């Protein structure tokens, strides 16, 4: 195999840069009120996100310059580390807004579930590609996929939405790697059953379904209703950047999960549509890299990143528009979250590195 460095996908790189700039601009507008109220600094959230983005860009460059075959050697260790960190969260994790999802080290906080996503992508891509090389049967594939259930269980106890994304990534990689539908259907059914167990164990998750069906009848439906008000008041072209009313305390933590509603209010249907179009083109570039990758490993890594971004964008927009129950999931590149942007950009580096060899 020729492992010489070629030219990376410049279209993909430009799209990532556009999304980064767009995300930071919208975040500055959306978070200014909350920043002023909480920290007496309208740019507080922006500064933190900007710093994390700089680190992420460095990570993207470093990963893109590496040969992804070398990263394959660390896939197992990365997956084991994600299990250890996710276990630590259950015992010593910091609780923020009622959710225990962070590990704190002084002023710094880290969300292990975000690290788990690229770790699972690398781990599954490696194990599935090796299975294909040895021409092992479907039973071996199922055994491989069972290995991800611990991380799904650990993450799902505090962050169901991330567990759904990890299962979705696994389903996509099985579908891409297998010409048979049985493993795909089996894994999808197992995942649905797994999520059903989690929903049954936690009463507040069942409450979210009731709120989704009739948000006006529940006090906790306030966020959903205000988000829908923001979407409706934006009209075709919006109120203009910075002109949102709903971000002034009406939509709680507007810079996080509900930021898409503020985009709709300030930039209107046109602005929101352009953002979704950017995501669609980004996903298309992932698809092209996956199809033209020089080997199965590269193809699966690109497909895994494609699945991650696709599922997360779909779930976030669906939650904001009340199409599905609220799952507390961020919009990639746009929502506030230092750990999220750091590992998202590292994943972009993975795909850019693979595109050099296409």
- Indicate if the alpha-carbon torsion angle 306, 312, 315, 319 is positive or negative: negative
106 vs 1, more confident: 106
Cα 144 to Cα 226: distance, rounded to the nearest angstrom:
44
Split at pLDDT 50, 70, 90, the class of 240 is very high
User: Does 238 score more than 90 pLDDT?
Assistant: yes
pLDDT for 131 equals 76
Is residue 229 within 8 Å of 250, Cβ to Cβ? yes
pLDDT digits (tens, 9 = 90+) for 178-207: 755 555 555 556 555 555 555 545 555 667
Give the position of tokens 């109220």: 37
Cα 89 to Cα 105: distance, rounded to the nearest angstrom:
12
99 forms beta bridges with 96
Cα 119 to Cα 125: distance, rounded to the nearest angstrom:
10
Split at pLDDT 50, 70, 90, the class of 86 is confident
pTM over 0.95: no
User: Does 4 score more than 60 pLDDT?
Assistant: no
Tokens of 146: 């069972």
Tokens of 285: 């570039």
pLDDT digits (tens, 9 = 90+) for 5-62: 678 899 999 999 999 999 999 999 999 999 999 989 999 999 999 999 999 999 999 9
Average pLDDT over residues 98-116: 77
Which has the minimum average pLDDT: 11-25, 164-178, 340-354?
164-178
pLDDT for 2 equals 47
199 vs 244, more confident: 244
Is residue 124 within 8 Å of 170, Cβ to Cβ? yes
Split at pLDDT 50, 70, 90, the class of 1 is very low
- Indicate if the alpha-carbon torsion angle 33, 341, 177, 13 is positive or negative: positive
The secondary structure of the chain in percent helix, strand, coil, rounded to multiples of 5, reads 70, 5, 25
User: Does 98 score more than 80 pLDDT?
Assistant: no
349 vs 186, more confident: 349
Average pLDDT over residues 98-127: 83
What backbone torsions phi and psi does residue 242 show, to the nearest 5 degrees?
Answer: 90, -5
DSSP code of residue 181:
S
pLDDT digits (tens, 9 = 90+) for 202-235: 555 667 777 788 888 887 788 889 999 999 999 9
Tokens of 217: 């009848």
pLDDT for 183 equals 54
pLDDT for 357 equals 86
Domain ranges of the chain: 10-355
356 vs 215, more confident: 356
Cβ burial of 345 (10 Å; 0-12, 13-18, 19+) is buried
Q: In what order do the strands lie in the sheet with 99-105?
A: 94-96, 99-105, 108-110
Q: What is the largest CA-CA distance in the chain?
A: 62
Vertex 35, ends 29 and 38: CA angle to 5°? 155
User: Does 281 score more than 80 pLDDT?
Assistant: yes
pLDDT for 267 equals 96
pLDDT digits (tens, 9 = 90+) for 253-266: 889 999 999 999 99
Is residue 89 within 8 Å of 101, Cβ to Cβ? yes
Which has the minimum average pLDDT: 143-152, 172-181, 297-306?
172-181
Other Cβ atoms less than 10 A from the Cβ of 170: the count is 26
Cα 121 to Cα 350: distance, rounded to the nearest angstrom:
11
pLDDT for 184 equals 54
User: Does 97 score more than 80 pLDDT?
Assistant: no
Tokens of 129: 């590609």
Which has the minimum average pLDDT: 56-60, 123-127, 305-309?
123-127
């Amino acid at each position: 195999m020729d492992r010489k460095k070629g030219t990376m996908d410049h279209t993909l790189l430009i799209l990532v840069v556009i999304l980064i700039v767009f995300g930071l601009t919208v975040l500055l507008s959306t978070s200014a009120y909350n920043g002023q109220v909480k920290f007496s600094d309208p740019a507080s959230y922006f500064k933190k996100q900007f710093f994390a983005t700089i680190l992420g860009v460095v990570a993207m460059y470093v990963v893109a310059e590496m040969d992804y075959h070398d990263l394959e050697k660390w896939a197992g260790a990365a997956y084991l580390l994600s299990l250890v960190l996710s276990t630590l969260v259950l015992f010593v994790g910091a609780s923020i807004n009622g959710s225990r999802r962070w590990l704190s080290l002084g002023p710094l906080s880290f969300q292990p579930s975000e690290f788990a996503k690229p770790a699972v992508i690398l781990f599954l891509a490696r194990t599935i590609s090796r299975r294909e090389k040895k021409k092992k049967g479907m039973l071996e594939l199922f055994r491989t996929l069972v290995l991800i259930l611990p991380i799904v269980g650990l993450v799902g106890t505090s962050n169901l939405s991330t567990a759904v994304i990890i299962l979705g990534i696994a389903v996509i990689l099985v579908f891409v790697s297998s010409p048979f539908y049985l493993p795909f259907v089996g894994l999808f059914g197992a995942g649905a059953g797994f999520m059903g167990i989690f929903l049954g164990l936690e009463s507040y998750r069942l409450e979210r379904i009731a709120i989704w069906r009739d948000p006006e009848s529940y006090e906790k439906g306030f966020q959903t209703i205000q988000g829908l008000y923001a979407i409706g008041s934006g009209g075709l072209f919006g109120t203009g950047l910075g002109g949102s009313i709903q971000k002034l305390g009406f939509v709680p933590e507007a810079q996080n999960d509900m930021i898409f509603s503020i985009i709709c209010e300030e930039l209107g249907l046109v602005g929101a549509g352009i953002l979704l179009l950017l995501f669609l083109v980004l996903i298309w570039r992932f698809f092209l890299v996956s199809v033209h990758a020089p080997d199965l490993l590269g193809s699966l890594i690109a497909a895994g990143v494609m699945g991650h971004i696709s599922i997360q964008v779909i779930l976030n927009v669906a939650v904001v528009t009340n199409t599905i129950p609220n799952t507390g999931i961020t919009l990639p590149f746009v929502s506030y979250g230092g750990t999220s942007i750091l590992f998202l950009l590292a994943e972009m580096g993975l795909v850019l590195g693979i595109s050099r060899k296409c």
